[in-house]
Structure 1
Amino acid sequence: MNIFTLENPRLRARIADSGACLLSLEDADRGGHLLRPWAENPAWHPGESAMFPMLPFANRIAGNRFTVGDRRCSLPPQPFGDPFYLHGNGWLTRWQVVKQTAHALTLGCAPEELAGYRYAAQIAWTLADNRFETTLTLTHLGEESMPYGAGLHPFFLLTPEDRVQFSATGMWSEEENHLPGAWREAIPADRDFSRPRAAPGVWINNCYSGWSGAAAISNRFRRIEIKSDTPWLMVYQNGKDDFICLEPQTHPVNAHHLPGRPGLRMLRKGESLALKMTLRVADPRPEAGD
């Protein structure tokens, strides 16, 4: 595994070519990690990183199969025990350097065909003052059109002082095997982040719809602002570790089996799909009345 470092006076990022994973993102100005830091070990897996990409789809597909017209597409068994092929194969692939500077890095890959998905991908990271920008692009290479999606899976560190906030119009419940159940407009109180609040410290694994594309994690020292260009946000917290995942996705979980396949893009040969996320580190906002 090769590791690359991007650094400016405000931020420091370490990135691996294995899975195109972000290993750490540090606040070089104030000090401390913004995302769960990488812990080096011989059995390291991309899922233990600070952030990894999800492509050519995000999360799970029911039954590990789907149809495209009259074609039946079956996914292989997941290599680490999940009943479904989780998060695609981009994070399980070795990527190559396309371009590198002191403040930017682009990696590319062309994984083996996966259930009809033949594609090339690039992921570009850029440090610009107090911003860390990620752009993921997929290009379909196959002769037959395929429904594509993508996502980014960051693990934000949490302290007891942190408050999480984002707005959405509804969410899906979680059912057996972590697949979505019914969509509901009324978000339960312990899943409602429309006002800044501490993460509840319980299991959360829900996809939100109508996301505004903005979220924030703040305390009295700093504020992390998350922005993306998709209306779906997956939120994951395991209830025992000090992180929360706010994952921009171009489609909801199991969209391959939802009516109209919301958010999935049918790409013909040579067509592309892109997803962008920006993390901005800022001063905390004053409380109302200050």
Structure 2
Amino acid sequence: MIILEAQGYRLELAPERGGAVLRLDWHGEPLMRPACGSTIFDVGSFPLVPFSNRIAKGRFNTGARKGTIAPNFPGSDHPHPLHGFGWLTAWSVIEQDDNHALLEHTYPGGEWPWPYRARQTFELGAQGLTNRLSITNLGDAPMPAGLGFHPYFPRDAETVYRGLHRGEWYNTPDCLPSSLDEHEEAIDWWQGESVDTRAVDTAYTGREGMLEIDWPARGLGLTIAPSEELTTTVVFTPQGQDYFCVEPVSHATDAINRAPETLAWLEPGQTATVSMTLSARTLPPAA
């Protein structure tokens, strides 16, 4: 385990466990859900590379190359592989000091017919945690690529999430997109209500501005600043759970089949990079 500390922030990383964050605290208060078990779904956050969310039946055909990826949902027979390869493999530690770490994962090609190198950097400072994720095409042909982050956050009955997006995807029962509800202007789909008022597992498109979480009972808030490439946000609010997910990502579900132009197409040797910064804030006392 790697521990980084700076400016009241404390970050625990598990490189061998999907390059995951185990926990992120600010002055002892958890900002991400602390790791609560032994599976990858029990961590605080993990990287999404070289694609986000699901590919229908694992099948794709870009015209130049096609492939089939086997189901990879741990402990399930869910038919649509998801989240790429980085979250289910060990990452190597390239650099580490008191407030900075660099991790690396290399994929040689296979089911995903393009070799690549992925890197994550974590840096703590006065602004909070900045997590960068990059992918470099190590092959000899253009490669489609998607990137993102999958953080889990604590949740109680009063937790509020705010994010402005133009579109919300409706899904089939097995979480593939079926239709898009889109507005001319970006809106708060929760309309200021608590996370508990909507049970969703879907993608929101056309993000504008920051994402915010408030925990009024804790007097604590969190601002998430995704880089401009992360135009989409996947939100998962399972009923009856003490966590929820807000995932800044670069494309919607099954984009390689439905909207391949929304992916980054990297020439051999080319790199794409995304980032998110998480900044804690104190909430004013309730009136």
**What is the TM-score normalised by the length of structure 2?**
0.90
Structure 2 distance, partners of 1:206, 1:55, is 18
**Match in the other structure for 2:189:** 192
The corresponding residue for 2:274 is: 275
1:59-104 Cα deviation digits (max 9, x unpaired): 0011211112242211123262321211010011111111111011
- Provide structure 1 residue ranges, at least 5 long, that are not aligned to the other structure: none
Q: What is the correspondence of 1:1-290 to structure 2 with a 5 Å cutoff?
A: 3-17=1-15, 18-28=17-27, 31-40=28-37, 44-78=38-72, 80=74, 81=76, 82-113=78-109, 114-185=111-182, 192-193=189-190, 195-200=191-196, 202-220=198-216, 221-229=219-227, 230-259=230-259, 261-284=260-283
Q: Does the C-alpha gap of structure 1 residues 239 and 143 become closer, same or farther in structure 2, counting only changes over 3 Å?
A: same
2-side partners of 1:111 and 1:70: how far apart? 20
CA distance in 1 between counterparts of 2:23 and 2:114 reads 30
Asked whether the 8 Å contact 2:101–2:123 carries over to 1, the reply is: yes
Aligned-CA RMSD value = 2.0
> Cα distance, 1:285 vs. partner?
5.3
For 1:122 and 1:13, the matched residues in 2 are separated by: 18
Distance 1:33 1:61 in 2: 33
Give, in angstroms, the shift of residue 201 of structure 1. 5.3
Moved more, 222-231 or 158-167: 158-167
Letter in structure 1 aligned against 2:25:
E
Amino acid at match of 2:257: H
Amino acid at match of 1:102: D
Distance 1:285 1:67, change over 3 A: farther
In the aligned structure 1, how far is the partner of 2:44 from the partner of 2:62? 34
| Structure with a larger share of its residues in strand | 2
- The offset of 1:263, in angstroms, is 2.6
Q: Residues 52 and 152 of structure 1 are in contact (CA less than 8 Å); yes or no, is this contact kept in structure 2?
A: yes
Q: How far apart are the structure 1 equivalents of 2:92 and 2:14?
A: 10
Instruction: Give distance in 1, aligned partners of 2:64 and 2:220.
Output: 52
Given that residues 130 and 282 in structure 1 are in contact (C-alpha distance below 8 angstroms), is that contact kept between their aligned partners in structure 2? Answer: no
Map Cα deviations across residues 203-228 of structure 1 (whole Å, 9 max, x no partner): 31110111114111113412100110
User: 70-79 or 171-180, which moves further after superposition?
Assistant: 70-79
- TM-superposed deviation, 1:192: 1.4
Q: Aligned letter for 2:283?
A: P
Contact 1:201 1:240 survives alignment (8 Å): no
- Pair 112,241 (structure 1): closer, same or farther in 2 beyond 3 Å: farther
Aligned length: 276
Percent identity of the aligned residues? 27
